[in-house]
Homo-oligomer: A and B are copies of this chain.
Amino acid sequence: MASGRDGDGTVGKALEVLDQVAAFGRPVRFSELLAQSRYPKATLYRFVQTLTNQGMLAFDDERGTYALGVRLVRLAHAAWRQSSLAPIARPHIDVLSRDVGETVHLAQLDNAQVLYVDKRNAREPIEMYSQAGKVGPAYCTGVGKAMLAFLPEAQLQRILPQQSFHRFTPQTLADEAALRAELGQVAKRGHAFDREEHEPGIICVALPILSAGGRVLGALSVTGTTGRSSLAGLEALVPRIRQTAEAIAAELESWRFPEGMRQAGE
């Protein structure tokens, strides 16, 4: 693929505009988009028009601003339901979080980043949608490292150069070499830690969810704070978490062959 980002064809360009609107994080004026856009006025205008009457963008004519449209939310709902991982995992992580009494995250790999697809907050009412769909760095989160450690080398080589290695805390791994070393450990041990590498005071233990064939399907993590928990304490939960991860993987495996879809052994 050519030089990175470049979208293919008209559709790619239009979707790029969507991302641009998303990046603003608030309703945005046409002129604001134009200022950032690499397309000329008329072209951008047509894109925005098209996206708008496709429901991917919503135009507020009182304010003259564009925001992401409702069709996206509808599609994302469908995505969540058919992604198989999230809906299948949901009851499992429900039980898990109740059992361990801590916050549980479910994540997937989205290109070089971690995408949180579900979350259970132990005791309090859950603040959900605001979390599902959120992306985070892969190199300094428990779920990220748990997944990276089990990736085939080829994919890893594509992903690692894309990591920013921004130092969120003094514990953050600083470069690719350090991460490589850590991933070796994780692979051997079978689970990953986050030792306050992303946020001070926040630690977690994470396990990958692996298919029978060893493919990385996602990851589970249990989070604690340095105040209430310790790494050793979290590590003690590993067998319980592994049980959940394996249950999810197993159910996923059977779900993937809906009805009478014979298939040679994987």
Which residues of B lie under 8 Å from residue A251 when comparing CB positions? Answer: none
Smallest beta-carbon distance A116→chain B, Å: 9
Which residues of B lie under 8 Å from residue A82 when comparing CB positions? Answer: 22, 24-27, 67-68
Distance A8 CA – B120 CA, assembled complex (angstroms): 41
Which of A107-115, A170-178, A179-187 lines the interface with chain B? A107-115
Q: Please determine whether B11 and A77 come into contact, CB atoms closer than 8 angstroms.
A: no
Given contacts A54-B8, A79-B69, A129-B128, contact A266 B115 (CB under 8 A): no
Using an 8 Å CB-CB cutoff, how does the interface string of A3-29 with B read, 1 for contact, 0 for none? 000011111101100110011111100
Given contacts A50-B8, A54-B12, contact A68 B62 (CB under 8 A): no
Which residues of B lie under 8 Å from residue A14 when comparing CB positions? Answer: 11
CB neighbors of B among A49-107 (8 A): 50-51, 53-56, 62-63, 67-84, 86-87, 90, 94
The answer to the question of A133 belonging to the interface, with a C-beta cut-off of 8 Å to chain B, is yes
Q: Please determine whether A117 and B73 come into contact, CB atoms closer than 8 angstroms.
A: yes
Which residues of B lie under 8 Å from residue A120 when comparing CB positions? Answer: 125
Q: Please determine whether A50 and B132 come into contact, CB atoms closer than 8 angstroms.
A: no
Q: Please determine whether B135 and A74 come into contact, CB atoms closer than 8 angstroms.
A: yes
Distance A69 CA – B83 CA, assembled complex (angstroms): 8
Q: Please determine whether B111 and A62 come into contact, CB atoms closer than 8 angstroms.
A: no
Q: Please determine whether B133 and A80 come into contact, CB atoms closer than 8 angstroms.
A: yes
Q: Please determine whether A75 and B70 come into contact, CB atoms closer than 8 angstroms.
A: no
Q: Please determine whether A68 and B73 come into contact, CB atoms closer than 8 angstroms.
A: no
Q: Please determine whether B87 and A25 come into contact, CB atoms closer than 8 angstroms.
A: no
Given contacts A51-B11, A110-B70, contact A266 B79 (CB under 8 A): no
Contact residues of A with B, CB < 8 Å? Answer: 1, 7-12, 14-15, 18-19, 22-27, 47, 50-51, 53-56, 62-63, 67-84, 86-87, 90, 94, 108, 110-111, 115, 117-118, 120, 125-130, 132-135, 213, 215, 256, 258, 266
**Can you report 28 A-B residue pairs in the complex whose CB atoms are below 8 A from each other?**
A8-B54, A11-B14, A15-B56, A22-B74, A22-B78, A24-B82, A26-B258, A62-B213, A62-B266, A63-B256, A67-B82, A68-B75, A68-B83, A70-B110, A70-B115, A72-B72, A73-B115, A73-B117, A73-B132, A75-B76, A76-B133, A78-B133, A80-B129, A80-B130, A81-B130, A90-B127, A125-B126, A126-B126
